[in-house]
Amino acid sequence: METRVLGRDLTVSAVGLGCMGFSHAYGAPVEEHEAVRLLGRAAEMGYTFFDTAEVYGTPEDPHINEELVGRALAPYRNRVVIATKFGLKFDMESGKVPYPLIPDSRPATIRKAVDGSLSRLGTDHIDLYFQHRIDPEVGPEEVAGVMADLIREGKITHWGISEANEDYLRRAHSVCPVTAVQNRYSMMARHYEVLFPVLEELGVGLVAFSPMANGFLTGRYGKGEHFDSKYDYRASMPQFTDEAVDQNQKLLELLRKMAEEKQATPAQISLAWMLCRHAWIVPIPGTRREERMAENAGAAAVKLTAEEVKALDEALDHMEMSAVFGGTAIKK
């Protein structure tokens, strides 16, 4: 797979792998041996960018995702980039699914988190360490100062911010250069495009999570879908309702038509659209199936012209769409 550079010097595969779904939010967890096998297959396919977090786990084993990633990628460690995250807890007592989020980026919390992640990942450094959500109680300068210390200590080599806004990004970047922001971005969720000129100016990359609107843009979901409300966040996502399927027919048809023209799949078109917009965008679709990993990796080879990207943009700008899942509530 071709590569891209995030920030100043972090080289990653053009498409990364979001690892959350092996353990969290997309159904019952994948059996551990199978999850390790699939992660290893991804590395053999050419993925060099793997994204996890300390909170991607189960009530029984809240950190299992990092452990799986660390175990699977140990044989490939010298040629893969591992991103993980700090600064977030789930409110498991609320009875709500998705679990409400509790941000915590106090310096002491970060220091405890990074040591835990290093141990679980079985590595001596984290390649890209993301603040998982902004903590309104801790200023960006303070968080960036801790990141600078961790870089000097060799515990991390690069850092980033998830769900970043312009003010927070600029203030953090002035203290310790930010390599990437990890924000929700897809054909159905384009509100962060207002941040693009700032990313260009500062030389910061965009790691796009939920790049296929939680799988909806694959075109494989129709009416009558059932998701386990205990394990699968899609059970409460508005784009998967029967009404939404009707509302989004023009969008799905747009993807199917372009896919036929390019001898690709709708999923690949939805990824190629963002890959061809800017060289500093790296999507991280998640999947639990080997054939989908191969399909998503193949999106990097689908080339859209500037005119084709512009035509897609204009169509999206004027198209009726359903609501789309925009994230889990942060507990105040």
How far apart (Å, rounded) are the C-alpha atoms in residues 107 and 87?
10
How far apart (Å, rounded) are the C-alpha atoms in residues 54 and 129?
11
- Supply 153's token pair: 């200590």
- Structural element, H or E, at residue 327: none
How far apart (Å, rounded) are the C-alpha atoms in residues 74 and 76?
5
My answer on whether omega of the bond before 98 falls inside 30° of 0, hence cis, is yes
Which alpha helices (DSSP H) does the chain contain, by range?
A: 32-45, 64-73, 107-121, 140-153, 166-175, 196-202, 242-247, 249-262, 266-275, 290-298, 306-317
How far apart (Å, rounded) are the C-alpha atoms in residues 217 and 270?
7
User: Contact 297/258 with Cβ under 8 angstroms?
Assistant: no
User: Contact 218/299 with Cβ under 8 angstroms?
Assistant: no
Based on the residue annotation, tell me whether 56 is a catalytic residue of this protein. yes
- Supply 210's token pair: 């939920």
How far apart (Å, rounded) are the C-alpha atoms in residues 283 and 183?
10
276 burial via Cβ count (<10 Å: 0-12, 13-18, 19+): middle
Name every residue whose Cβ is closer than 8 Å to that of residue 223 and which is 6 or more positions away in sequence: 242, 245
Catalytic residue chosen out of the listed positions 56, 168, 185, 233: 56
How far apart (Å, rounded) are the C-alpha atoms in residues 66 and 54?
6
How far apart (Å, rounded) are the C-alpha atoms in residues 324 and 321?
8
- Supply 331's token pair: 């507990």
Instruction: Tell me the catalytic residues.
Output: 56
